[in-house]
Amino acid sequence: MKDIKKVRYPELNPIIRMHPNPEILLGHEIFWQEKRDGSCIGCCLGENDELKLRSRNMDTASEDFHKLFNSTAEAEKVKELLTDLRDKWNAESVVFGELLTKGRSPTKTELHEKNEFIVFDIWSVKGEGFIPYMLVHQYCYQYKLPIVELYGTSRHITIESVLAFRDRMLEIAKEKKREGVVGKTFEKNAEFKYFKEKLDLPKLEKLPRLIEEGVIQLPQLPESEILGALDKALVDLGIEKFKDTKTAMPLFAQYVSNECKKHNCVNNLKLFGYWKNKTEEMSHFP
């Protein structure tokens, strides 16, 4: 059984980069959900029943983000759900969601009117995996927790059909001013498969292909990924440490480097300006 302290949310790739190939999705029912633009937070209970928060990269999120989370209407409801899952069903769990903070979102795609926590997944230590969407939805309904919107479901026998349906889902995301979609499969006794597709990423499978000799020239990392890396650094460091350029910039640069490797891109933009603008935008933080 996996130690709850080791549970991490997986890094998601586009369909075309799924391992070992995109065809791994064929034959499985896919749930297509909206991708919200916030900070990925995992919630679990500590040894003394306190609510513990973790960021994507840190076991414990900064105190600033604990304050932001506790300012939401969802904080006590999440704790109640986690307590009931453990005590009533013997299912120690991690609730994952997007922490949306008042104001512009990390990649500027959304404008939030208040601090809010939106659930998108629940990991069950007992089941050693993510629980199915339908069960997550039931829990959220029962405990009056918001959950990411489900755009549709599908099952395919060709990868061309998967990609065509993806384009339909992205059109919905565009209409609703979301940055993209996340696809998930939950079949029992089968490894879960997650992916993300964003409006600002190129559809590589539709581009012409030509093999040349010479120096490799990679595309510029999308600005949304740079802003996302900046937000990860903020979540991990907290406001005061984030304001220290000598502390924040190396971590920010490392996260941008990680995104470049993941997306096979390069960054030719100066990062200092992004950090400086972010520090000037944090007046709404408690």
Q: 215 lies in a domain? A: no
Domain boundary among 165, 180, 206: 206
**Per-residue pLDDT of the chain in tens (286 residues, 90 and over written 9):** 566 767 888 889 999 888 888 888 998 999 999 999 999 999 999 888 899 998 877 888 888 888 999 999 999 999 999 999 999 998 899 999 999 999 988 888 899 999 999 999 999 988 888 999 999 999 999 999 999 999 999 999 999 999 999 999 999 999 999 999 999 998 766 678 899 999 987 777 666 655 556 665 678 999 999 999 999 999 999 988 999 999 999 999 999 999 998 888 889 999 999 999 999 887 655 5
Count of domains observed in the chain = 2
Domain holding 183: CATH number? 3.30.470.30
Question: What beta strand segments (E) does 173-269 contain?
Answer: 180-185, 193-198
Is the same domain home to 150 and 236? no
Is the same domain home to 184 and 250? no
Is the same domain home to 154 and 257? no
Task: Tell me which residue range forms the domain holding 131.
Answer: 29-206
Please say whether the beta carbons of 17 and 193 come within 8 A: no
d(CA 106, CA 101): 9
Please say whether the beta carbons of 21 and 28 come within 8 A: no
Is the same domain home to 50 and 184? yes
Tokens of 205: 């499978």
Is the same domain home to 197 and 243? no
Distances (CA, A) of 256 to 190, 207, 230: 33, 25, 8
Q: 240 lies in a domain? A: yes
Is the same domain home to 251 and 199? no
